[in-house]
């Protein structure tokens, strides 16, 4: 039976704190909740620049991953070189490179290719190994193949594929975020990526994600942008104040916490746009480059317009004329604000114990009587760490409903708090008021043999 709303509100209102170690109020809650730097970043996102990027990407004729990369005036080769040079022009602190992979013929890849993701890295001043990524894919596709070209993949790869919304818009997001954010310093490393091979089955993202996982690269979040260039759908519906944000299950996955964080930052810094969290890894039956990172156990989410025009996608009509620069700029501002907020904040606390059977270390347990006892850790804490915020919600609520300042402690007891009816998490907060995404306490499903006798063992002895 679900707890009533009145009961949970009563619980929230009556929560009392008892912190072990340092008192909960020994370190006051930082008062700065709106950072002028993030406001400045948002103000510097340029519609004019985004329009220029759209037109330039369209001018390459096609950016099909399988197009002839040796061409000097069109195709995938000149497109990736232009993106590379754009990244290089923004700041000498950006480390720009091609993430190159040799992809063999097979599946949707009709020939052996050299695939190049374009990457620009802005090293963090405190933690260079903690990455926050902003990405889109620069390759395009035309599936409106004339009958005479069917069965001729090399010819069809050269068909006009302007790909302005899918996904010149995501590429514009990565480029414009890199241009603006590279003018400032951040605690964590910001990484901007234009993926190739998305239209052939996410092959560029898969190759990069696997390589990064093999190198034990830490990635706190990947913000993937795919089809953020239209505000009018094919059925005439229109909405320029809403963007969809997809995140993978389960409900308290690290990806879902990134989605909640982005929604919070958007509401705080850019309230004219609503971030509509969609509790699904992607659109129904479809996928994007963030999925490749999810599959390597990295937190990754996807921004997409709520008004797709399916007739224009993967066709020669996905053009500048049929795109909305102003809508794309709004989504880019949310990306820039979220990426900056993540890179300025401390890393998320550790709430999962390496040994769930122990009573020491991070974890959630029922205390004496009816209390909730929360423990967490923060290995190698940032020098400006101020303390931690407890977040709470009912089990059926989509987002966190209450925050409690704990101070600079690693354990907190919430008196008379029902652990069965609530979900808990912890956020790290620095002295400037920057908050990390929440780390939730997740109850893992138990196997019958771990917690309960097997069914046959419960039967009475017939002898």
Write the pLDDT tens digit of every residue in 228-258: 999 999 999 999 999 999 999 999 999 999 9
Give SS3 for 182: coil
Using pLDDT thresholds of 50, 70 and 90, give the confidence band for residue 360: low
Is the N-terminal amide bond of 57 cis, ω within 30° of 0?
Answer: no
Q: Are residues 157 and 75 in the same domain?
A: yes
Q: Are residues 96 and 245 in the same domain?
A: yes
Q: Are residues 139 and 209 in the same domain?
A: yes
Q: Compute the average pLDDT of residues 148-153.
A: 78
Look at residue 5 in the predicted model and tell me its pLDDT: 42
Instruction: State how far the Cα of 199 lies from the Cα of 14, in Å rounded to an integer.
Output: 53
Tokens of 311: 């007739």
Contact 229, 306 (CB under 8 A): no
Q: Are residues 376 and 332 in the same domain?
A: no
Domain endpoint, select from 295, 317, 344: 344
Using pLDDT thresholds of 50, 70 and 90, give the confidence band for residue 455: very low
Domain tally for the chain? 2
Q: Which of 230, 201, 204, 182 is nearest to 138 (CA)?
A: 204
Contacts of 73 (CB under 8 A, 6+ apart): none
DSSP string, 362-373: SEEEE-STT-EE
Look at residue 367 in the predicted model and tell me its pLDDT: 86
Q: Are residues 287 and 419 in the same domain?
A: no
The angle subtended at Cα 77 by Cα 219 and Cα 201, nearest 5°, is 50
Q: Are residues 340 and 352 in the same domain?
A: no
Q: Are residues 25 and 170 in the same domain?
A: no
Instruction: State how far the Cα of 320 lies from the Cα of 318, in Å rounded to an integer.
Output: 7
Q: How far is CA 122 from CA 56, 143, 151, 178, 397, in A?
A: 24, 36, 44, 8, 36
Using pLDDT thresholds of 50, 70 and 90, give the confidence band for residue 449: low
Look at residue 28 in the predicted model and tell me its pLDDT: 76
| pLDDT higher at 57 or 103 | 57
Residue whose tokens read 């002898």: 463
Q: Are residues 256 and 335 in the same domain?
A: yes
Q: How far is CA 107 from CA 110, 202, 203, 276, 314, in A?
A: 7, 12, 11, 34, 18
Which residues constitute the domain of residue 137? 36-344
Contact 402, 366 (CB under 8 A): no
Tokens of 346: 């401390």
Q: Using DSSP bridges, classify how beta strands 218-225 and 300-305 pair: parallel, antiparallel or unpaired.
A: parallel
Residue whose tokens read 């979220």: 338
- 104-122 pLDDT, tens per residue? 988 888 889 999 999 999 9
Residue whose tokens read 């974890």: 363
Residues in the chain: 463
127-141, 298-312, 436-450: least confidently modelled range: 436-450
- 60-97 pLDDT, tens per residue? 999 999 999 999 999 999 999 999 999 999 999 999 99
Q: Are residues 12 and 73 in the same domain?
A: no
Tell me if 456 is assigned to some domain.
Answer: no
Tell me if 379 is assigned to some domain.
Answer: yes
Instruction: State how far the Cα of 456 lies from the Cα of 323, in Å rounded to an integer.
Output: 63
Q: Which of 432, 440, 463, 439 is nearest to 29 (CA)?
A: 432
Using pLDDT thresholds of 50, 70 and 90, give the confidence band for residue 6: very low
Specify the CATH number for the domain of residue 26: 2.60.40.10
Domain endpoint, select from 299, 321, 344: 344
- Percent of the residues in the chain that have a pLDDT greater than 70, as a whole number: 88
Q: Are residues 108 and 237 in the same domain?
A: yes
Other C-beta atoms closer than 10 Å to the C-beta of 16 total 10
Q: Are residues 216 and 325 in the same domain?
A: yes
Q: Are residues 118 and 141 in the same domain?
A: yes
Using pLDDT thresholds of 50, 70 and 90, give the confidence band for residue 7: very low
Name, of 32-36, 205-209, 310-314, the range with top average pLDDT: 205-209
Tell me if 462 is assigned to some domain.
Answer: no
Q: Compute the average pLDDT of residues 288-296.
A: 97
Domain endpoint, select from 288, 312, 344: 344
Q: Taking phi first (over 0 means left), then psi (-120 to 50 degrees means alpha), and beta for anything else, what does residue 140 get?
A: beta
């Amino acid at each position: 039976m679900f707890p009533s709303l009145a009961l949970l509100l009563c619980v929230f209102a009556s929560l009392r704190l008892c912190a072990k170690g340092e008192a909960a109020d020994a370190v006051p809650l930082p008062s700065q909740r709106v950072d002028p730097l993030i406001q400045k970043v948002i103000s510097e996102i340029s519609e004019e620049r985004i329009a220029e990027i759209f037109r330039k990407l369209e001018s390459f004729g096609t950016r099909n991953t399988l197009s002839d990369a040796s061409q000097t005036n069109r195709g995938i080769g000149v497109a990736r070189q232009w993106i590379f040079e754009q990244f290089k022009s923004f700041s000498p602190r950006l480390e720009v490179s091609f993430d190159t992979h040799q992809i063999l013929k097979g599946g949707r890849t009709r020939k052996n290719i050299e695939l190049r993701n374009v990457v620009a890295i802005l090293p963090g001043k405190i933690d260079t190994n903690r990455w926050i990524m902003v990405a889109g894919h620069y390759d395009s596709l035309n599936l409106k193949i004339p009958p005479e070209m069917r069965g001729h993949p090399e010819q069809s790869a050269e068909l006009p594929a302007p790909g302005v919304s899918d996904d010149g818009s995501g590429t514009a997001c990565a480029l414009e975020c890199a241009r603006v954010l590279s003018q400032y310093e951040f605690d964590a490393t910001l990484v901007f990526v234009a993926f190739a091979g998305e239209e052939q089955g996410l092959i560029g993202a898969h190759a990069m994600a696997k390589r990064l996982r093999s190198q034990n690269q830490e990635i706190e979040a990947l913000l993937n942008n795919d089809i953020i260039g239209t505000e009018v759908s094919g059925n005439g519906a229109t909405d320029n104040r809403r963007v969809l944000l997809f995140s993978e299950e389960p409900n308290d996955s690290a990806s879902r916490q990134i989605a909640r964080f982005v929604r919070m930052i958007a509401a705080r810094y850019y309230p004219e746009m609503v971030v509509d969290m969609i509790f699904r890894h992607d659109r129904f039956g479809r996928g994007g480059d963030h999925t490749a990172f999810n599959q390597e156990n990295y937190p990754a989410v996807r921004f997409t317009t709520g008004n797709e025009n399916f007739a224009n996608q993967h066709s020669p009509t996905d053009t500048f004329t049929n795109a909305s620069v102003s809508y794309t700029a709004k989504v880019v501002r949310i990306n820039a604000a979220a990426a900056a907020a993540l890179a300025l904040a401390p890393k998320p606390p550790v709430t999962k114990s390496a040994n769930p059977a122990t009573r020491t270390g991070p974890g959630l347990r029922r205390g004496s009587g009816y209390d909730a006892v929360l423990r967490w850790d923060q290995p190698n804490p940032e020098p400006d760490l101020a303390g931690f915020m407890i977040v709470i919600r009912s089990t059926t609520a989509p987002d966190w409903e209450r925050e409690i300042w704990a101070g600079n402690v690693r354990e907190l007891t919430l008196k008379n708090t029902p652990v069965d009816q609530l979900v808990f998490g912890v956020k790290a907060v620095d002295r400037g008021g920057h908050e990390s995404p929440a780390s939730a306490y997740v109850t893992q499903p138990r196997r019958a043999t771990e917690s309960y006798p097997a069914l046959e063992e419960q039967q009475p002895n017939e002898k």
